[in-house]
Amino acid sequence: MATLTQSVLSAMRNHRRYLIALLLPLLFMGANAALATSVREATVAEMADKSAVIFEGVVVDVRAHKTEHGSIVTAVVFEVLDVIKGSLPQRRLTLEFLGGEIPGERQSIAAMQYPQLGEQGIYFAESIDQPLINPLYGWDQGRFLVQRDHGGVERVLTAGKRPVMDVQGSESTFFATPGVAVKLSTGVANGVRATPAASANEGLSTGQFKQRIRNLLGAPP
């Protein structure tokens, strides 16, 4: 238990910008551990600015394993289709998420949703080389799904599968204003306008969505 707790605390220190209730008591049931967390709401402009890499990709492998420190991590391998911000040395990228399940043991992280095998999406990665609880900026806020509509057009959805209708930049007051009240995330970043219910033929196309992100970054069309 001590090794797991030290590992979790170390990862949390790296991810302190998002975690509000950093660590509630670890609850053990046999070999299972549960960790409760809360995530701060980010703005889409903040995510675009502070993410190390923004890319479109397809999940080609998902595997959990135990680290040398005794914690469980889930390694998600992406086949990179397009890089919107940053640079990657190769077309495959592995991101590690804290928690997961191996034979006989499970570590659960509240609010953690792992990218699924075969999933295609656009991802805002806060870091690709530092150990974080969740390497995506703002957790689900930095994960957008890509799905074809009935006409074959690739549309962008939130992680909760709500079509994204628009993306608008707004400055975050969290860093600039001391003592500002923290607003917890509902899974969608401030500045992302999504419909309340899924509709297969609504929402921005992948091209439209990526161009809006490039506009936020000041990149040329």
Chain segment 153-165, per-residue pLDDT in tens: 999 999 999 999 9
Give the predicted TM-score (pTM) of the model. 0.80
Mean pLDDT, residues 120-134: 95
User: Two tokens at 18?
Assistant: 């998002």
| Domains contained in the chain, number | 1
Beta-strand runs (E) in 31-119: 32-35, 53-66, 72-85, 92-98, 100-102, 105-109
Average pLDDT across the chain, whole number: 82
C-alpha–C-alpha distance, residues 155 and 147, integer Å: 5
Residue 179 has pLDDT above 70, yes or no: no
Please name every residue paired with 56 in a beta bridge, in sequence order, or none if there are none.
82, 122
pLDDT above 90 covers a percentage of the chain that reads: 61
Q: Which residue has the higher pLDDT, 220 or 21?
A: 220
Q: What is the pLDDT of residue 34?
A: 53
Residue 83 has pLDDT above 90, yes or no: yes
Q: Which residue has the higher pLDDT, 30 or 189?
A: 189
- The model's confidence at residue 9, banded by pLDDT at 50, 70 and 90, is very low
> Residue 41: what residue type?
E
Q: What is the pLDDT of residue 118?
A: 98
Domain that holds residue 184: 2-217
Task: Check: CB of residue 67 under 8 Å from CB of residue 73.
Answer: yes
Instruction: List pLDDT tens digits, range 26-59.
Output: 333 334 555 556 788 999 999 999 999 999 999 9
User: Two tokens at 22?
Assistant: 């950093």
Instruction: List pLDDT tens digits, range 16-28.
Output: 433 333 333 333 3
b (16+ CB within 10 A) / e for 131-165 = bbbbbbbbbbbbbbbbbeeeeeebbbbbbeebbbe
pLDDT above 70 covers a percentage of the chain that reads: 74
